[in-house]
Structure 1
Amino acid sequence: MIIKKYTLDNLAQLVDHTNLHADASNEDMIKLCDEAKKYHFKMVAINQVQSKICHEQLKDTDIDVGAAISFPLGQTTIESKLFDTKNAIENGANEIDYVINITELKNKNYDYIEKEMSEMVAICRKNSVLIKVIFENTYLTNEEITTVAQIAKKVKPDFIKTSTGFGPSGAKVEDVKLMKSVVGDDVLVKAAGGIRNSDDFIAMISAGADRIGTSSGIKIIEALKQRMKDDDVDSIKIGR
């Protein structure tokens, strides 16, 4: 196990500050971006259609705009996903989180999953945009999680991600460990869905996650800030 020290800013930089609600207004997006600037989160995670407004709010910062593609079901064609990805990038997104075609995975059409991932990675690489592949583990067996992770190890997206947060369950420590055990250092892991407190946040990092998607980022960072104050330290040690 390696023990690493994380300052409060290091921890905030692991957060994808999230608002993916269907009824989110422009005012909600502005608030989300303002919060991201205040806490110095890594990225705002939003629906594709809100890429432009968030880009305008964050263009003079180092905070990324993360557009969700084929979200939350993943049940669109490769061509549709590529079109939406290109459109999101044109509107200012510089991170892409897309959901795999779970039906084709269940059909054991692994060539399709690899083709989809390869083409999505290619368009993001061409545009110097970071890409995350959402598995939606709640619907998958450990064997299926392993299979998609093996494909990712070959194709090499930037991240593989546990969940959308809209399924019956979200991130699980054991899933993060499994995904990381397959991809090793070749691909990073993002945990998302149901991570609402500082203990769960730290548990996901310890399990191998390098990014955390959550709508509770402010609550989590404030709790960690208080913990550091109470312990009179300027960093938190996390083993992984």
Structure 2
Amino acid sequence: MNIKQYLDSTYLKTAAQAGLSEEDNNTIVKGFIQEAIEEGFKLIMIRPDKVKMAREMITAAKSKLLIGTVISFPEGINSFEEKLAEAQKAIEDGVDELDYVCNYEAFKNGNSELVKKEVYSGTKLAFDNHKVAKWIIEVAALTDDEIIKLSALIKNVIITDFKEECYANVFVKSSTGFYKTENNQPNGATIPTIILMLENASPLPVKAAGGVRTYEEAVAMIRLGVKRIGTSAAKTIANGEIATGNY
């Protein structure tokens, strides 16, 4: 198993969140991009304002590394018009994959129609530009029943409105890694939540983001059926070591 081709190496902290200057934070981002190029990971996942820089580095290196970015991150509460505008800018800057944060609060409050509209619109924009779309549902903010229903909602929008050959390019993704939980409860992917997602998102692929910290945990997720793993410790995991971060 080439585990590196399952790993989306991820750095999503702003300078303020990292407690750094913009220059120092940019240096970290560049380091993540360079490492992903050298290690042969599937994708580098960065903030939208870093996409253009990543595209320049990857082009210069003649690398096949994909670029992913997050949209309406991390709360997902932007209007779908704002989400589309942010995604369009990332497309123009050279992104390959768009990881939208689903408006899970609207879903929890019973506004499923809003979520259906954004899933359709965001996915269509991705497909119109030959990009992959992922929908982050933020499992730590949801009950098991809500995980089941939101995964199924996304699936049903896609199978209703898009052709079967498109299904592999729409992921349901577990987490942002930024959700604040109580009592140090997991805020990312766990085996039980991933099983619920796999059972209810199929035939759409699932991405496990956050909480995968070892090679063994990554392999376990892959054996369950996960197609991608988001982690800020991709090299550590690939080397069989134990990551110490939260994502």
- Of the candidates 5, 29, 46, which is equivalent to residue 13 of structure 1? 5
Is the counterpart of residue 203 in structure 1 residue 205 in structure 2? no
Shift of 1:73: 0.8
Shift of 1:210: 0.7
- Of the candidates 131, 134, 137, which is equivalent to residue 129 of structure 1? 131
* Higher mean displacement: 14-23 or 191-200: 191-200
**1:197/1:216 contact within 8 Å kept:** no
**Corresponding residue SS for 2:226:** coil
Shift of 1:151: 1.7
Structure 1 letter corresponding to 2:193:
D
Deviation string, structure 1 residues 59-117 (Cα, Å, up to 9, x no partner)? 23211110111111111110100000000110111101111112211111111111110
| Residue 33 of structure 2: aligned partner | 33
* Higher mean displacement: 72-81 or 198-207: 198-207
- Of the candidates 179, 202, 210, which is equivalent to residue 193 of structure 1? 210
Shift of 1:206: 2.1
**Corresponding residue SS for 1:25:** helix
TM-score, normalised to structure 2's length? 0.84
- Of the candidates 231, 236, 243, which is equivalent to residue 214 of structure 1? 231
| Residue 96 of structure 1: aligned partner | 98
Shift of 1:44: 0.4
Alignment partners' CA distance in 1, 2:26 and 2:57: 11
Unaligned runs of 5+ in 2: 16-23, 159-168, 182-186, 242-247
**Corresponding residue SS for 2:113:** helix
Alignment partners' CA distance in 2, 1:112 and 1:153: 15
| Residue 227 of structure 1: aligned partner | none
Shift of 1:208: 2.0
| Residue 166 of structure 1: aligned partner | 178
Alignment partners' CA distance in 2, 1:221 and 1:63: 16
Alignment partners' CA distance in 2, 1:90 and 1:110: 30
Alignment partners' CA distance in 2, 1:48 and 1:176: 27
Shift of 1:198: 1.3
Is the counterpart of residue 111 in structure 1 residue 113 in structure 2? yes
**1:150/1:183 contact within 8 Å kept:** yes
Alignment partners' CA distance in 2, 1:170 and 1:218: 19
Alignment partners' CA distance in 2, 1:50 and 1:30: 9
Alignment partners' CA distance in 2, 1:115 and 1:143: 21
| Residue 234 of structure 1: aligned partner | none
Structure 2 letter corresponding to 1:22:
T
TM-score, normalised to structure 1's length? 0.86
Shift of 1:30: 1.7
Bigger strand fraction: 1
- Stretches (4+) displaced over 3 A: none
Alignment partners' CA distance in 1, 2:54 and 2:28: 10
| Residue 244 of structure 2: aligned partner | none
Shift of 1:29: 2.0
- Tell me how many residue pairs correspond in the alignment: 215
Counterparts of 1:47-62 in structure 2, within 5 Å, are 47-59=47-59, 60-62=62-64
CA RMSD between the two structures: 1.3
Shift of 1:194: 2.0
Unaligned runs of 5+ in 1: 1-5, 225-240
Structure 2 letter corresponding to 1:18:
T
